[in-house]
Amino acid sequence: MTIEPLLKYMSNYIDLTSDEVVFLESKITVRKYLKGQYIVQQGDICKFSCFVLSGCTKTFYMDGEGQEHILMFSIEDWWTSDMGSFITQTPADFNIQCLENSELVMFSYDIIEDLYREIPKLERFFRQIIEKAFVASQKRIVRNFSLSAKDQYLYFRDQYPLIEQRIPQYMIASYLGITKEFLSKIKSQLILEQ
Amino acid sequence: MTIEPLLKYMSNYIDLTSDEVVFLESKITVRKYLKGQYIVQQGDICKFSCFVLSGCTKTFYMDGEGQEHILMFSIEDWWTSDMGSFITQTPADFNIQCLENSELVMFSYDIIEDLYREIPKLERFFRQIIEKAFVASQKRIVRNFSLSAKDQYLYFRDQYPLIEQRIPQYMIASYLGITKEFLSKIKSQLILEQ
DNA sequence: AATAAATGTTAATCTAGTTTAATATTATTT
DNA sequence: AAATAATATTAAACTAGATTAACATTTATT
């Protein structure tokens, strides 16, 4: 697979010359992962910021009791990384694991400064996508505070219908911050209602 | 008050020449607000990204039932804005109100592109601070999921001892996503414990 | 086709945090 | 100093969601 989807995605934010595309391609790598493989493990230094060409990943955190808390899913045209670990090069809080065979574009920490130096527009590009990610994260906090579990599920189903079909229920429950049993109850309630 | 605290803050990320500082100063404004005044109101277009020189603000959301949910407090050397509204120039989800008389450096939406064009380093600067804000936001989601209300309060008290003293308890409860009554209960429990 | 592994459901019991409502304390204004 | 407004506490009754445990269904493996 080519990095075409990445270039198309980037063209929504910045215009790259063909020279710049060549330079970019010389600095990034495309890597395949199998279902179940880890891209980052809690405690590792996260070396890459990744763009998903195909497949699906989950980013999760293991708490003291061995409970898994899913922070996000990433599918085609999304990013995945432990940003905190990546920018400071300190041990990661999160695990990132493939839920399907996946292909990722890898932006290594070691080359990203070269990219910014050579193509300053990329600084703008990453500023803009991280702004969006921050806004999405704030909105999620608001939903966590102001919506019931049922309404959060309805919102998720509404916003990410494609993700819901690709992922087991118990992971969606974890993403929503509720137990799989309670999500099951919510779903049976919803069936009775309509 | 001068913008000295802002320049010092920026020097942690980028080096500006004195010409660049002059240009920056020509584009930003410093504005005073009184306690109680709003910087942004839900539904407005957020025109500014603000750096706090002095004082304190709260960013909050009013839900359908008229319940106030506080997302963040901003004190000296912090930023405040409805980022979602600012970057897309669409109606704000949040209110930002001063809890004390405050002085803010105002980065207007209308001039920020001029700043990026004239001083590309600023693109880097804002990329880096928004990266940090995103990481902090993700970590907050994790805490919401994995800590009890009591542990979240202890974390807050530990991380922001200065903020706790400046702000009424009921606002801290709102920030933590619990009722003021329950926070009161947690505090009395903590007193019994030690 | 049979077995095992992964995923999903149901129901009873339990608990962290909410709601309501009354009262106490502290700060502000006259 | 008194009165008012703002903030904080306490306690009883309640509820959304967790826990536990047994069972059902679907998917993958041999």
* Domain-embedded: residue A84: yes
Identify the pLDDT of residue B63. Answer: 87
* Domain-embedded: residue B137: no
Contact B50, B155 (CB under 8 A): no
CB atoms within 10 A of CB A64: 6
Are A83 and A138 in a shared domain? no
* Domain-embedded: residue B86: yes
Nearest CA in chain B to A81: B135
* Domain-embedded: residue B163: no
Scanning residues 132 through 171 of protein chain A, those with a beta carbon under 7 Å from any atom of strand D turn out to be 148-150
pLDDT tens digits for range B70-93: 999 999 999 999 999 999 999 999
Tens-of-pLDDT digits for all 194 residues of chain A?
799 999 999 999 999 999 999 999 999 999 999 999 999 999 999 999 999 999 999 999 998 888 899 999 999 999 999 999 999 999 999 999 999 999 999 999 999 999 999 999 999 999 999 999 999 999 999 999 999 999 999 999 999 998 999 999 999 999 999 999 999 999 999 998 76
Rounded Cα distance between A98 and A60, Å, is 11
Are A42 and A115 in a shared domain? yes
Checking each nucleotide's C1' against the CA of B184, the nearest proves to be D9
* Domain-embedded: residue B154: no
Q: Which domain holds residue A42?
A: 1-122
Q: What's the structural domain count of chain A?
A: 2
| CATH number (domain holding residue B91) | 2.60.120.10
User: From the Cβ of B188, is strand D under 7 Å away?
Assistant: yes
Scanning residues 154 through 183 of protein chain B, those with a beta carbon under 7 Å from any atom of strand C turn out to be 177-179, 181-182
Are A8 and A101 in a shared domain? yes
Q: Does B126 touch chain A (CB under 8 A)?
A: yes
Q: Does A146 touch chain B (CB under 8 A)?
A: yes
Are A23 and A79 in a shared domain? yes
Q: What percent of chain B has pLDDT over 90?
A: 94
Choosing from A81, A104, A122, the residue where a domain stops is A122
User: From the Cβ of A180, is strand C under 7 Å away?
Assistant: yes
Q: Which residue has the tokens 């709003």?
A: B38
pLDDT tens digits for range B93-141: 999 999 999 999 999 999 999 999 999 999 999 999 999 999 999 999 9
Average pLDDT over residues B36-63: 96
Rounded Cα distance between B95 and B191, Å, is 34
**What angle do the packed helices B109-118 and B121-146 form, to 10 degrees?**
120
What residues of chain A lie within 8 A of the CB of B120, using their CB?
120, 123
* Domain-embedded: residue A178: yes
Are A105 and A167 in a shared domain? no
Rounded Cα distance between B80 and A89, Å, is 27
* Domain-embedded: residue A127: no
* Domain-embedded: residue A185: yes
